[in-house]
Amino acid sequence: MLRRPALSLFLAGLIAFSVAADAGAAATPASDGAEPRRVAIVIDDFGNAMDGTEEMFALPAPITVAVMPFLPTTKRDAEEAHRRGHEVIVHLPMEPMRGKRSWLGPGAITTDLSDREIRNRVAAAIDDVPHARGMNNHMGSKATADPRVMRLVMEVCRERGLYFLDSRTTGKSKAETTAGDVGVPLVANDLFLDEIYTASHVHKQLRKLLRLIDEQSDTIAIGHVGPPGRITASALRGAMDRLQDEAAFVRVSELLPLPEPVPLWR
């Protein structure tokens, strides 16, 4: 049995702990019993010392850094992202419906390649990006709509233990179907933040992001380094407090669907 002074100290400590726990719960988004909200911000096009690279790395929340392979700063950007606690994924160049192939960069996945060449290129891209946990498509409106190509991409992802993020550059993407068939964890982009390179557009997209967060439990948005890089980084930093009031910032891997439970008996 506790003596009276010890009992008083115990009760005081218990009350202090309860108050602190309540305060922490109040600071957590959706702590009122509603489903917790989570948001993952993905930033594409690292690997070529693009504008906004440092500003994105310095954001005060975890982001997912999509690094293009075989470029001058591919390894440096991946290593720095990992060092700062961000998640790294391969930003795989894939053939679009329109546009020049030169825009894709080296090692691109195109629909005229043989099965073996596609597999080799995907594996080489993974090897070139240190610390990669997953993959998403750079451009790719033509390649991601091709079931043969996507099955081969997914097979390599499965073999290497990577998830796939469908950037949704086309409504005809076969990523979800082929990922399900092959057994690769898949998530999909909900919103591009900066396809128009103006501050007014990025702020408009951030308002859309807040509405999406209100409507669904998990949300993924994609921005870019490069021409809009500094604009997007500045807008994200300015909106960070409001976003963190509404949702927890997470890495994409934290949004992956849980595997189906294995029955204990049949």
CATH class of 41-255: alpha beta
Torsions phi, psi of 222, nearest 5? -115, 130
Q: How high is the pLDDT of residue 263? A: 54
Extended beta strands in 116-161, E state: 132-139
pLDDT at residue number 105: 87
Angle CA(19)–CA(24)–CA(28) in degrees, nearest 5? 145
Alpha-helical segments (H) within 161-228? 175-182, 199-215
Please answer whether residues 102 and 89 qualify as being in contact, where contact means their C-beta atoms are separated by less than 8 angstroms.
no
Is the pTM above the cut of 0.75? yes
Beta partners for 43? 65, 223
Q: pLDDT at position 102, please?
A: 75
Distance (Å, rounded) from C-alpha 264 to C-alpha 266? 7
pLDDT per residue rounded down to tens, the chain (266 residues):
444 444 343 334 433 333 333 333 333 455 555 678 999 999 999 999 999 999 999 999 999 999 999 999 999 999 999 999 999 999 999 999 987 777 788 999 999 999 999 999 999 999 999 999 999 999 999 999 999 999 999 999 999 999 999 999 999 999 999 999 999 999 999 999 999 999 999 999 999 999 999 999 999 999 999 999 999 999 999 999 999 999 999 999 999 987 655 455 54
According to the model, what pLDDT value does residue 36 have? 86
CB atoms inside a 10 Å sphere around CB 160: 14
